[in-house]
Structure 1
Amino acid sequence: MLRALELAGRGPAHGPNPRVGCVLLDRRGTALGEGWHAGAGSPHAEVAALEAARRAGADVRGATAVVTLEPCNHTGRTGPCTEALLAAGVTTVVHAVDDPDPDAAGGADRLREAGVDVVGGLRRGEGEELLRVWLHAVRSGRPWVTLKLAATLDGRVAAADGTSRWITSAASRRHAHAHRALVDAIAVGTGTALADDPALTVRPEEGEPPAHQPLRVVVGRRDVPEGARLREPGGALVQARSHDVGEVLAVLAERRVRHLLVEGGPTLAAAFLRAGAVDELHAYVAPVLLGAGPTAVADLGIASIGGASRWRTVETVRLDDDVLVVARPSGPRAGTTTSSTTSSPSTEET
């Protein structure tokens, strides 16, 4: 199963489909074939593993399939994995995570009905972590939201005169661009869009830009100017003309966005936090002091320390002199959806 999880990680983190890995074993525990899902329209992990075994001349009758996600039981752009496993003569299936997608679920029951021995829940914790973005989107009906902040030690995102380039290091900016390549959409408020004229594209230091460019989402009612960089080549531009976080997320869910990266500015960050809609926080902290200037997050309506929004650190990364803190909510999420997502001070990451 650990190998299947490793294989699953080779699939794209972005897109509507889950990352899945599969290993086929004979009765002695020898690997016959392995595979992973490479993205929408490509063979599912189970089918890829069966094809690999066939290419190797292996007999998969009586084999065990070890899969990170319960085999699907529906026909989409590819056929049901359950039927492929049954046709191949696989007699045992072990999976880590039950499939919560109502359109694809039921694979375990279908296999059991056909006489296959099915065991679920092996390494469930690791499987849930690998699939956390996709699982959250399917279970909740809204995208997983990562909020990115880039600030000084005293929490400023710009100096008093509005200048902000560059607070964080080149290493932090490279890391942020690499993370953009993993998401389905990037959001900024209209204030940031108008003040900074960001491109919101994935731009490697060397080589051609990747084929995948996230949707570029502007939240607010004001128009994006015709000559804006957001209208240049890159991901499609989506104008979410609402001040309601729930409405914005619903629009993106309809477009099958599983992972939304919120990048700016302070007002939009506060709106998502007040709505309790942030699932993970990426805070790039630079050893810089300004003493004045806009803060990374606008007013959250918290009056006392007892009402502070508490988070738990899940990872820290050293980026030259900067530090990235990755955190997730440690308790109940604050607030209800706010209607204050309009103009915001400019931010340094574009």
Structure 2
Amino acid sequence: MDVVTIGETMVLFTPDTTGLMRYAKQFSMKFGGAESNVAIGLSRLGHKVGWISKVGDDEFGRAMLSFISGEKVDVSQVKTDGSAPTGIYFKEPRRENDVRVYYYRKGSAASTLSKQDINEEYIAKATYLHITGITPALSESCEEAIFEAVEVAKRNGVKVVFDPNLRRKLWSEEKARAILLKLISKADIVLPGVSEGQFLFGESDPSKLGELFLNQGASTVVLKLGAQGAMYMTNNEQAMVPGITVERVVDPVGAGDGFAAGFISGLLDGLEPAKAVDRGNITGAFVTMVNGDVEGLPEREEIERFSSQSGEDVNR
């Protein structure tokens, strides 16, 4: 197993028309969740990935498992909960570059995840454990599950990749700050955005933020800077990797997950850090060109073709 990830995936409903959702008459159904987005992104790039979660014993849960397993992601550690539903959310494309998201996830099956759902033997087989700051915000038992998974990873030499993925509406700012900082201190690699750095440290300067994150205990920080690209930082080096120009952004939701998938893929392939970040930038850019969280995630052939056309070699 290359990567194991943990978190909630929900059913996504999107109106077939743009504008205020109150006027929508028809919706399309898809699936989305930060962690499964990353899992699918890695699978499409040729890696072996496992996803740990819970779904409801309902049609949405069955459809979700069918979809994600169909993307060649291992779902053997996903449990079905007969007492709680599969979460749902709505994406409202009001106009180009203005997409709003509404979640209906309270009391969902995934929010009942607990440390008893963490299989040490399963995680120990992975090279990387990927987690986000969303899962511990869902419930106390989810928080315990994430910290248990991190401890299991550390005991077994599995590197922890942490994307803070701040969701302010899920918890108080005080608790969010405390838990995110604690997870950063336990992670090997952290993938924050500038807005998350500002929330945690009251700082927006990329170089200063990198130092602040590293001081928490992480060995590697990749600071996502949107269209500008990303900055890679360790205690010994720092490099700015320019972003990929996208002429028309159709749907920005999921771009950060695409970046994580591309970056981790680069690490798994043994690329030098700047090249791994570049693959992350390319993968994230592909996501923004298509409506949906995972529909735009590229396959390896697309990445290679893009790189050859742009004069880059992402496999070097």
TM-score normalized by structure 2? 0.29
Q: Which has the higher helix share?
A: 2
Higher Cα radius of gyration: 1
Asked which structure has the greater RCO (Cα within 8 Å, sep 6+), the reply is 1
